[in-house]
């Protein structure tokens, strides 16, 4: 029985993508060679990289708007550092909405002055700060669009003259935004895009080249751009699977179509969390509940063994909450079928009836 996979990441990818990826490991493009044994400089792989780069811009509506894309290594954690290396000359503004924001702040502090313009740390990050001011002399403003661990998501991004850098690791390609308001968008692949091991970085080119420091080659966006994301050997398999997932999304109708399904999935689950007296949502401001990661708790923890048994029996995987929040977390990334959410809701109702 195929599982209902609510893992927070690495996470579910489309079945058709898995099948193509598995096939390519044996015989790629009918070359009688595996995808993972060919040169990354071969025409066949260069085409994969170029498709992946192009599709990412196309899906975000950023083609021919001064943006370029890269598939790098190191995850969002490496971008925490690279963003600061490439952009931070004097001062940067950061919004602190959770674990990943805090880590981004820690790394950037090594390279310049940081202003934490807002933080929800006082309430274990269960809300998104509002009404904060971004200093007009900041080199950039950094935020995390979706907080996987706490289950919050930014709906309104600030209006500012300062360049905006956004870590969209856990909600990229899940909802329509005016992506041209951002100057750098980065995302570890392992949520809505592909397997762990590659990181998408979208860069408005005119933002670069303004810092005075010498940037090490591997941390320099301009170096990677000048080599079309092939400065050194890329993570071939993760990039290929990301390309397949982006093709899948395009064929499905793009972000606007997947957003409708994502909205429906979130509505079904949050309705049940609010209706069912056995459960309570973790996030305090409902408008900033994440449509990707729903965090919730049992009102009465003595029911946890029974609930755990029920969802395990239903073939549900990856529902345990992060250790810093506890309770449960249902991650509903693009590839999670609506059916899986319905199964989870049935289990929650079932628990109510039996309690």
Q: Which residues are catalytic?
A: 100, 167, 191
Instruction: Provide the pairing of β-strand 293-298 with 164-167.
Output: unpaired
Q: For residue 277, give both structure tokens.
A: 């007296």
Supply the minimum distance, in Å, between the C-beta of residue 10 and a second copy: 6
When asked if residue 2 is in the footprint of a second copy (CB under 8 A), the reply is yes
Q: For residue 165, give both structure tokens.
A: 């850098």
- Please report the sign of the dihedral spanned by the C-alpha atoms of residue 344, residue 11, residue 225, residue 92: positive
Query: From the list 83, 235, 244, 266, which residue makes contact with a second copy (rule: CB under 8 A)?
Result: 235
Give Dmax (Cα) for the chain: 65
When asked if residue 227 is in the footprint of a second copy (CB under 8 A), the reply is no
* CA angle (99 as vertex; 93, 104 as ends), nearest 5: 40
Give the integer Cα–Cα distance in Å for 302 and 312.
Answer: 17
The neighbour count for residue 256, using CB atoms within 10 Å, is 10
Residue 153 or 170: the one with the smaller Cβ distance to a second copy is: 170
Binding mask 165-194 for a second copy (x = CB under 8 A): -----------------------x-x---x
When asked if residue 280 is in the footprint of a second copy (CB under 8 A), the reply is no
Query: From the list 48, 59, 75, 173, which residue makes contact with a second copy (rule: CB under 8 A)?
Result: 75
When asked if residue 254 is in the footprint of a second copy (CB under 8 A), the reply is no
Query: From the list 198, 297, 334, 340, which residue makes contact with a second copy (rule: CB under 8 A)?
Result: 198
Query: From the list 32, 212, 226, 302, which residue makes contact with a second copy (rule: CB under 8 A)?
Result: 32
When asked if residue 43 is in the footprint of a second copy (CB under 8 A), the reply is no
DSSP, collapsed to helix, strand or coil, labels residue 69 as strand
When asked if residue 214 is in the footprint of a second copy (CB under 8 A), the reply is yes
For tokens 């200093």, what's the residue?
135
Q: For residue 321, give both structure tokens.
A: 């909450």
Residues at the interface with a second copy (CB under 8 A): 1-3, 5, 7-13, 18-19, 21-23, 25-26, 31-34, 36-40, 73-78, 80-81, 103, 106-107, 110, 188, 190, 194-198, 214, 216-219, 231-238, 241, 315, 317-318
């Amino acid at each position: 029985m195929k599982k209902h996979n609510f893992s927070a990441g690495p996470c579910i990818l489309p079945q058709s993508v898995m099948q193509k990826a598995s096939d390519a490991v044996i015989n790629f493009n009918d070359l009688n060679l595996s995808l993972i044994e060919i040169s990354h400089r071969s025409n066949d792989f260069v085409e994969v990289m170029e498709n992946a780069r192009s599709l990412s811009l196309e899906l975000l509506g950023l083609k021919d708007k001064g943006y370029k894309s890269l598939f790098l290594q190191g995850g969002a954690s490496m971008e925490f550092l690279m963003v600061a290396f490439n952009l931070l000359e004097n001062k940067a503004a950061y919004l602190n909405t959770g674990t990943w924001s805090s880590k981004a702040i820690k790394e950037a502090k090594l390279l310049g002055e940081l202003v934490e313009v807002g933080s929800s740390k006082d309430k274990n990050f269960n809300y998104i700060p509002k009404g904060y001011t971004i200093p007009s002399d900041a080199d950039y403003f950094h935020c995390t669009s979706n907080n996987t661990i706490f289950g919050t998501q930014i709906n309104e991004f600030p209006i500012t003259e300062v360049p905006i850098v956004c870590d969209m690791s856990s909600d990229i390609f899940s909802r329509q935004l005016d992506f041209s308001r951002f100057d750098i968008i980065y995302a570890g692949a392992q949520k809505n895009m592909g397997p762990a091991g590659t990181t998408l970085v979208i860069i408005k080119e005119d933002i670069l080249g303004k810092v005075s420091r010498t940037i090490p080659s591997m941390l320099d966006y301009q170096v990677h751009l000048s080599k079309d994301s092939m400065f050194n050997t890329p993570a071939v398999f993760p990039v290929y699977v990301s390309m397949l997932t982006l093709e899948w999304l395009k064929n499905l109708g793009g972000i606007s179509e997947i957003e409708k399904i994502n909205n429906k999935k979130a509505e079904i689950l949050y309705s049940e969390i609010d209706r069912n007296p056995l459960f309570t949502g973790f996030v305090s401001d409902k408008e900033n509940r994440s449509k990707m990661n729903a965090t919730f708790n049992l009102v009465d923890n003595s029911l946890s063994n029974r609930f755990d048994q029920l969802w395990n029996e239903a073939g549900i995987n990856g529902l345990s909450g992060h250790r810093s929040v506890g309770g449960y977390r249902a991650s509903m990334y693009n590839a999670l079928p609506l059916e899986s959410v319905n199964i989870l809701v049935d289990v929650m109702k079932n628990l109510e009836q039996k309690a």
